[in-house]
Amino acid sequence: MYLRDLKPCCDRFHEECGVFGIYSDEKRDVANTVYFGLYALQHRGQESAGIAVAHDNKITCFRDMGLVPEVFTEQRLKGFSEGDIAIGHVRYSTTGSSTAFNAKPFVFSGKVGRMAIAHNGNIVNSKALREKLISENIVFQTVTDAEVIAALINKYIENDILGAIVKAGDELIGSYAFVIMTSNKLIAVRDPSGIRPLCLGTYRGEYIVASESCALDAVDAEFIRDLEPGEVLCIDFKGLESRFLNNRGSALCIFEHVYFARPDSFLDGCSVYEARKEAGRILAKKHPVKADIVSGVPDSAVVAARGYSEVTGIPYVEALNKNRYVGRAFIQPSQGMRESSVGIKMNAIKANVKGKSVVLIDDSIVRGTTSKKIISILRAAGAKEVHLRICSPIIRHPCFLGIDMQTHSQLVGHKRSVKEVCDYIGADSLEYLEVDELLETVKGSRIGFCTGCFTGKYPVEFDIKDIDKEKFEE
């Protein structure tokens, strides 16, 4: 058993999933392309991986628990028939238990034959939709949102699958970016607020859709554009056709830039790398401190730490070493184990920190246990002072939109002041970015942002009583 196979630790954010799809004009080894795309999206989910290939009016699918290379051995990839359409998925579960049964893509038989769907996000009203569909005699095999979306689309299919998706989309409340495949179409859908990212690329006349542009780069595809919020994009032998769901403004999850996405990705026209570096620069201007070295918590805060160093002139030096052989989603059932597991994942580089005052940059503080442990590791290694600077505002509210942070009780910042959080984690000083400062880092984006976990104002309206109590405690 790997550490990542244990139950989720909520001290860091977890993204729910990554999706990838390809449409080719001719039959070829499309499963291989999806494999490399999923490899590039592995940071979005490490629990399970799956690929579905359409060929000869059939769909072949394989999915299992584990990282992409663990699930798809060379032998397993060779087992896929050549096809012209394929989709893939990497998953970190925030809904449904972490089992192979709930892994994606989800394959089903509907009114237009065999179909497969892979989804990223969280449907806030999935419980209510599921109950309504059950009352209409529809049966479910899993508790995942993907199956609810599939059943809803199938219910509305008459002749036109795109029309059915638009109808279904108007009933879905929450965040979703999904790819759906029939025997002759690849369809990509981004929710009306664009909370989760989804982009389109091309490789030698083939079309590719992916959660992030880094997955297009991985398969040598050329980036065409991001899907618009609310866009339903259909790719088939006639070419591309878009329809749109009812517009609800635009609100990409700002944590895509802060933490989830890879720094080499662009989201809606904005470089993740540049946004992170700018966060470090702003922290340096707003919250300077006298110190010997500046360092970033690997991996997501390293770029921001370089930005802080650039402005202050304090040298950037690695203070922490990350054990890369522990999955990103390492996990413990108890608080005690959770704290000790940070030491397995991260260790101080004594030679660099002994006798030094350190400015440490991190992307966010959720529960506070990781920050507390990292600071104690640095002190044990001889650091004289540890000043923590955070590239996002204090998190005061839960997220119901697909991030594993769903109750107030999980948040150290819910009712504490900055000073109280600082005392709790044991730093010499602690400063956060303000919401407007964080928005400044992403001013190059073509669309707006969700900042719900800082402000309590979410881009979608929902009734708290619709929320599945098993999914969200409060």
Q: Using CB under 6 A, list all residues that contact ligand SF4.
A: 195, 253-255, 399, 401, 403, 450-453
For 317, counting Cβ atoms within 10 Å of its Cβ (0-12 exposed, 13-18 middle, 19+ buried), the class is middle
Facing residues of 346 across strands? 322
* Residue bearing tokens 């579960």: 93
* Sign of the torsion angle spanned by Cα atoms 271, 273, 279, 285: negative
Phi, psi dihedral angles at 441 (to 5 degrees): -70, -20
Distance of alpha carbon 152 from alpha carbon 132, whole angstroms? 10
- Which one, 87 or 195, has the nearer CB to ligand SF4? 195
Q: What residues contact residue 175 under an 8 Å CB cut-off, 6+ apart? A: 121, 122, 191, 193, 195, 196, 253, 401, 402, 460
The DSSP result for 162-200, as a single string, is HHHHHHHHTT--EEEEEEEE-SS-EEEEE-TT--S--EE
Strands (E) across 211-305 are located at: 222-226, 231-236, 239-244, 252-253, 266-267, 270-271, 293-296
- The residues annotated as belonging to the active site are 17
Facing residues of 53 across strands? 60, 86
Angle at 140 between CA 138 and CA 142, to 5 degrees: 165
- Which one, 164 or 195, has the nearer CB to ligand SF4? 195
Phi, psi dihedral angles at 23 (to 5 degrees): -125, 125
- Which one, 16 or 147, has the nearer CB to ligand SF4? 16
CB of 84 to ligand SF4, least distance (A): 35
CB of 74 to ligand SF4, least distance (A): 37
- Tell me which amino acid residue 103 is: A
Helical segments of 244-334, H only? 255, 272-286, 302-312
- Which one, 206 or 226, has the nearer CB to ligand SF4? 226
Sheet with strand 429-432: strands edge to edge:
293-296, 357-362, 385-390, 429-432
- Which one, 177 or 195, has the nearer CB to ligand SF4? 195
Angle at 121 between CA 119 and CA 123, to 5 degrees: 95
CB of 253 to ligand SF4, least distance (A): 3
CB of 172 to ligand SF4, least distance (A): 15
Question: Count of alpha carbons within 13 Å of 71, Cβ hemisphere only?
Answer: 28
- Which one, 253 or 467, has the nearer CB to ligand SF4? 253
Checking DSSP bridges between strand 199-203 and strand 222-226, what pairing results, if any?
A: antiparallel
- Which one, 185 or 397, has the nearer CB to ligand SF4? 397
